[in-house]
Structure 1
C-alpha cells in the first residue's frame, strides 16, 4: 500500500520539476552569457554535423549501391552470356537427347559462373513437345518475388538487362535487401527464356550500417570535443568580463576603491587598464564633489545660523517701526511696512535654507504621532481661509476617508499642506480649490487641486527643483521662497511616501501627497487619484470666509459630489 501511494507523489514531483525546466532555461538564457554562447555554438555545430553526416551517409549509400549494382549486372551478364555461348556453339539439330543434355549443362553452368545461387528461368514461348527443355528455379527464387513490370521489361527488351530491388527471404525467416537481374536466353529448337538471377546485398547493408554508425558516433564525439573547447575558450574570455561586471556593480554600489586585475598586454588587459583609469577618475570626481557638497552644506548652514542673530535684531527693529508706522508720514509708513514684510520673508527663507541643509546632511528625524490626516487638513484649511478669501478663491474639502489616526509627523505634514494650498491659492486664478482626503488599507492621501493656469509636462517635471519657477516673469504675491515644494518632497520621502503632481495648461494642477499607514510600507495604489476624473464648475470669484462648520456642511451636502459615501 505504501509503495503504491508513493508512486503518484513521485510522479507529481517529477512533473513539477519538468514544468520548471523551461523557466530555468529561460532564466539562464537571459542572465548567463556563457550559457547563451555555449548553447548557440552547440546548436549550430550539431546542425552542421548532422547535415554533413546525413549528406555523407546518403552519398556513401548511393555510391555503395551503385557499385554493387554494376557488379551484379556484370556478373549476371557474364553468367547468361556464357550460357548463351554454350547454346550457340552446340549442334543439336533434330537431336532431342543432345538438346536435353545441353540444357542440363546450361542449368549447371549458370550458378557455376555466377556468384549467386538464386536463379529462376521461365519460358517466354512454349517449347515444342518432347524437347525436354523447360523452366527451372535454383535456391528458392520463385516467380512471386518478381514484379510484373520487371518481367514485362525483360520480355520487351531482348538485348538488354532489367533489374529491380527486392527483399529476399532468409532461412531464419527474416528478409534481406537484394537485386534481381533479368535478361533473355535463346535456346535452339526450344525458343526464348527469361533468366533471373537474384543477389543478396546483406553484406553491403552491414557495411553501410557500419559506416553510418561510425559517422554518427564521430559526429557526437566531435560535438563533445567542440563543446569542451568552447567552454575552455569561453571561460578564458568571459572570466575577465564577469570580473568586470562584478567590479562595475561594486563600483556602482559605492565601493570606489575596487579595481580590475591587469594581466598581460592583450585587449582584455587594455580593457582592465581603461576601466581602472575610469574608476580612478570617477573616484576623484566623486570625492571632489562630495567635498564641495560638504563645503556648500557647511556654508549654507553656517551662513544661516550666523544670519539669525542679526536678523533677530533687525526683526525687532522692524516690528517696532511697523507698530508705530501710523505716526509716520505716508512715505515712511510704507517703508516700515515693506521692511517688516521683507524681514519676515527673509526669516522664512533662512528657515527653509536651514531645513534644506539638514536634508542634505541626512540629519532630519521624524517625530511620529497618531494623527488624523482629515482633521489635520481641516485645521490647515481653516488657517488658509483668510489668504484664500484675499485671492478670491473658494476652499472645498472632500474627505471620504482619512479620519483614522496614523503615525505621521504632524508638523511636517502640516507644512506640506500649507505649501500645497498656498501654491494653489497663488496660481488658482480665483477659482475653487478642492482638497481631497481619503484612505485605504495601505495608505492615507491628500490631494490639492486648483483650476488655474496649469503647467506643461516639461515644467511639471521640474516643479520640485529648488528656486525654480515655471514663469520667471511672474512675481510671487504670497511671498514664497522657492524651496517649499522641494522641502515638501523631502518630508514626503522621509515618511516613506510620495508627492506627485499632475498639471495641464489652462486646466489646472493637482498635487497628491500619499503616506503609508505603516512607516516604510507603501503598498498598492494611492487612495486619491493623481489625474482628476471630473471638473468642478466655476463659481463666483468673491466668496465669504468659509468656516470649518461650513466646510463640513459643504462636504455632506447634496450640491457637491463627494464620491464614496463611506466616511469612516
Structure 2
C-alpha cells in the first residue's frame, strides 16, 4: 500500500509540475516575444524617419547601391549613439523594375511574404532565420515599413536578434525543471515519512493478526497516544481479546465433545458386549423358543450389529476430530483393496440384484498407503453406489500416473440433486430422509472416508444428476501427503443419453451414465451402455474380472457379516 500511495503521489506531482512548467514557459516566452515586438514597432518608426532624412541629404546623382550603403551606415551610427540597448541591424531594400532587388547590406535575403505585405504599405513583421557572413544562422525578428523618398520602392527593415531571448527562455526552462524535480523529490520524501506513520501500525497489526491466526492468542498491539492509530490499536486489542476468549471456549467445548464421544463409546462397549453374548447364547438354544420370540431375537441381533458399527464409527470420527489418527502405511497394490472391499459388499449387490463391473483390471495401482483405510473408503463408495443404483449396473474404473492414483465408482440410479455434492460428506446427512437404506449405514461412512482420504493427502469428489446417476472419484498421491498431481481420471457428471436401437426391434430411450476415464489417454475403458446382465453376449463385460496374479480373485474373498455404512 505504501508503494502505491507514494507512486500515486509521484505520478500526480510529476504531471502537475510538467503542466505548470509548460504553462510558465509559455507565458514567459509570450511576454518576451510581445516585448520584442513592441520594441521593434517603436524603433521602426524612428528608423523610417531617419532613413527619409538621410536619403534626402544624399546626392541623387550617385548610384542607388551607394546611396543605400551611405544611409544604412548613418542609421547604424545613429542607433548606436541614441539607443545602445535596442540593438538591431538596419536593412534597406529597393525593388527594381526588372524584378531584382538592391539591398544594403548586399545580398541580404528578406522573406518574400514579408516583402509582399510591406510593399502593400503595411508595417509587418516575421520571425525568420537569418544568415551571417560566415554561413551560420540565427533566429531573428524582421520588421519592415515603406519609406517615402525619391528612391522608388524603398523599404526599411530592422533585424532584431532573438538569441539573447532564446538564452533567457532556455535558462528559465532549466530553472523550472530543476525546481520541479526538487519539488517532486521533496513531496515524495514527505509522503514517505507521512505514510510511515500510518503504515507502521498497520503492518504491526498485520503481523499480530498473523500470529493470532497461528495460535499465539496473547499477542496485542502497543497503544501510544490518543490519536486515530491509538484508537485502532485499542479496538484491535479488544477484538483480539474477544476472539481469544471465544476460541478458547470453542477449543474447550471441542475437547469436551471429543471426550464425551470417546467416553460414551467406550462405556457403551461393555453393556453392548454383554447384550450380544446374551443374544448369541439364547439363539444357540432356540429349540424351545416360539417363532415370534426367535424373530425378535434376530431383530435384536441386527440392531446390536448396527449399534456396534455406530460405536466404531463414532470412535473413528472422534480420533479424526482430536487429530489423533495416524497412518500405518505399506507399499501395496491398491487393486487388493478394491477387490477386498468388493468381497465385503458382494452379498449386498446380490441381494439387490446389482451388477458391479470392473474396468481395466490389468492396470496396477502400486502406492504407499494404509490398506485398511483405503479399503474402508472403497467399501463405502461401493456400498453407496450399490444401495442407490436402483438395480442398475455399477462401474469401477481406475488409473494411475507418476504422482497420483485414481478410482471412480459410477452408478446409474437416483443420482444427486443440484447442491447435494456440497453436503454429501457431512455427518448424518441424507439426500432423502424417507428413502430406506439397504446397507444399514450409520450416516458417518462418507465423512470418515473423506477424513481417511485427507489423511493420505488425497481427495474424494462427487458429481451427479438427479434421476440419472452419480460418480465418486478417489484420488491419492503415490506417496502419502505428497503434492497431488494431475488426476488421471476425469470426474464426469452422468447425463441421460439415448440407448442405440437394438438389432432385433425398435430402439428405446433410457438413461445411462457417462462413466469412464476420459482423462486417461492410455486407458481404453470399454464403452458402458448398461446392457442386460442376463444376456450371455454381455457376460464377458459384466462379470467382475479376476485380478491378475498375485492378487486374490474377488470370488475367493468371503463377505463378512458386518454392515456397510451409508451417507
| TM-score category, normalised to shorter length | 0.7 to 0.9
The CA distance in 1 between the partners of 2:271 and 2:540, in whole Å, is: 39
* 1:78 aligned residue: 46
* 2:405 aligned residue: 444
The CA distance in 2 between the partners of 1:516 and 1:106, in whole Å, is: 106
Indicate how the Cα distance of structure 1 residues 95 and 405 shifts in structure 2: closer, same or farther if over 3 A, else same.
Answer: closer
* 1:340 aligned residue: 301
* 1:185 aligned residue: 147
* 2:417 aligned residue: 456
Indicate how the Cα distance of structure 1 residues 512 and 322 shifts in structure 2: closer, same or farther if over 3 A, else same.
Answer: farther
Indicate how the Cα distance of structure 1 residues 479 and 100 shifts in structure 2: closer, same or farther if over 3 A, else same.
Answer: closer
* 2:552 aligned residue: none
* 2:20 aligned residue: 52
* 1:413 aligned residue: 374
In the alignment, is residue 120 of structure 1 matched against residue 120 of structure 2? no
The CA distance in 2 between the partners of 1:42 and 1:101, in whole Å, is: 66
* 2:32 aligned residue: 64
Q: Which residue, out of 211, 235, 243, partners 1:250?
A: 211
* 1:359 aligned residue: 320
* 2:523 aligned residue: none
Aligned 8 A contact 1:393 1:542 in 2: no
Q: Which residue, out of 91, 113, 116, partners 1:152?
A: 116
The CA distance in 2 between the partners of 1:102 and 1:336, in whole Å, is: 149
The CA distance in 2 between the partners of 1:217 and 1:206, in whole Å, is: 16
In the alignment, is residue 537 of structure 1 matched against residue 529 of structure 2? yes
Alignment of 1:85-164 (within 5 A): 106-114=71-79, 115-116=86-87, 118-124=89-95, 137=104, 141-157=105-121, 160-164=122-126
The more displaced of 221-230 and 402-411 is 402-411
SS at match of 1:187: coil
Indicate how the Cα distance of structure 1 residues 290 and 402 shifts in structure 2: closer, same or farther if over 3 A, else same.
Answer: farther
SS at match of 1:145: coil
Deviation at 1:233, TM superposition (A): 1.1
SS at match of 2:545: helix
The more displaced of 210-219 and 104-113 is 104-113
Question: Relative contact order (C-alpha < 8 Å, sep 6+): which is higher?
Answer: 2
Unaligned residue ranges in structure 1 (runs of 5+)? 1-32, 128-133, 556-568
Count residues in correspondence: 506
In the alignment, is residue 399 of structure 1 matched against residue 399 of structure 2? no
Q: What is the TM-score with the length of structure 1 in the denominator? A: 0.82
Indicate how the Cα distance of structure 1 residues 328 and 359 shifts in structure 2: closer, same or farther if over 3 A, else same.
Answer: same
The CA distance in 1 between the partners of 2:325 and 2:547, in whole Å, is: 38
* 2:511 aligned residue: none
In the alignment, is residue 507 of structure 1 matched against residue 468 of structure 2? yes
* 1:275 aligned residue: 236
In the alignment, is residue 318 of structure 1 matched against residue 282 of structure 2? no
CA deviation string 1:105-131 (max 9, x = no partner): 84454223434462222334679xxxx
The CA distance in 2 between the partners of 1:106 and 1:407, in whole Å, is: 113
Aligned 8 A contact 2:457 2:484 in 1: no
The CA distance in 2 between the partners of 1:516 and 1:469, in whole Å, is: 29
The CA distance in 1 between the partners of 2:432 and 2:60, in whole Å, is: 134
Deviation at 1:290, TM superposition (A): 0.2
Aligned 8 A contact 2:366 2:478 in 1: no
Aligned 8 A contact 1:402 1:444 in 2: no
The CA distance in 1 between the partners of 2:535 and 2:439, in whole Å, is: 19
Aligned 8 A contact 1:372 1:402 in 2: no
The more displaced of 489-498 and 527-536 is 527-536
Aligned 8 A contact 2:406 2:473 in 1: yes
SS at match of 1:64: helix
Deviation at 1:179, TM superposition (A): 1.4
The more displaced of 294-303 and 314-323 is 314-323
Q: What is the TM-score with the length of structure 2 in the denominator? A: 0.82
The CA distance in 1 between the partners of 2:418 and 2:142, in whole Å, is: 88
* 1:562 aligned residue: none
The CA distance in 1 between the partners of 2:90 and 2:13, in whole Å, is: 49
Alignment of 1:457-536 (within 5 A): 457-531=418-492, 533-534=514-515, 536=528
SS at match of 1:552: coil
Deviation at 1:553, TM superposition (A): 6.4
Higher helix share: 1
CA deviation string 1:397-443 (max 9, x = no partner): 11355535422211121222221111112111111111223222112
The CA distance in 2 between the partners of 1:285 and 1:117, in whole Å, is: 91
Aligned 8 A contact 2:365 2:399 in 1: no
Indicate how the Cα distance of structure 1 residues 425 and 104 shifts in structure 2: closer, same or farther if over 3 A, else same.
Answer: closer
SS at match of 2:248: helix
Deviation at 1:310, TM superposition (A): 0.7
* 1:551 aligned residue: 544
* 1:43 aligned residue: 11
Q: Root-mean-square deviation (CA), in Å? A: 3.1
Indicate how the Cα distance of structure 1 residues 153 and 85 shifts in structure 2: closer, same or farther if over 3 A, else same.
Answer: same
Deviation at 1:304, TM superposition (A): 0.6
The CA distance in 2 between the partners of 1:101 and 1:492, in whole Å, is: 114
* 1:174 aligned residue: 136
Indicate how the Cα distance of structure 1 residues 444 and 86 shifts in structure 2: closer, same or farther if over 3 A, else same.
Answer: closer
CA deviation string 1:487-511 (max 9, x = no partner): 1111111122211112211121211
The CA distance in 2 between the partners of 1:126 and 1:146, in whole Å, is: 18
The more displaced of 362-371 and 482-491 is 362-371
* 1:564 aligned residue: none
SS at match of 2:147: strand
Indicate how the Cα distance of structure 1 residues 551 and 326 shifts in structure 2: closer, same or farther if over 3 A, else same.
Answer: farther
* 2:162 aligned residue: 201
CA deviation string 1:354-377 (max 9, x = no partner): 111111112222222222111321
Aligned 8 A contact 1:435 1:449 in 2: yes
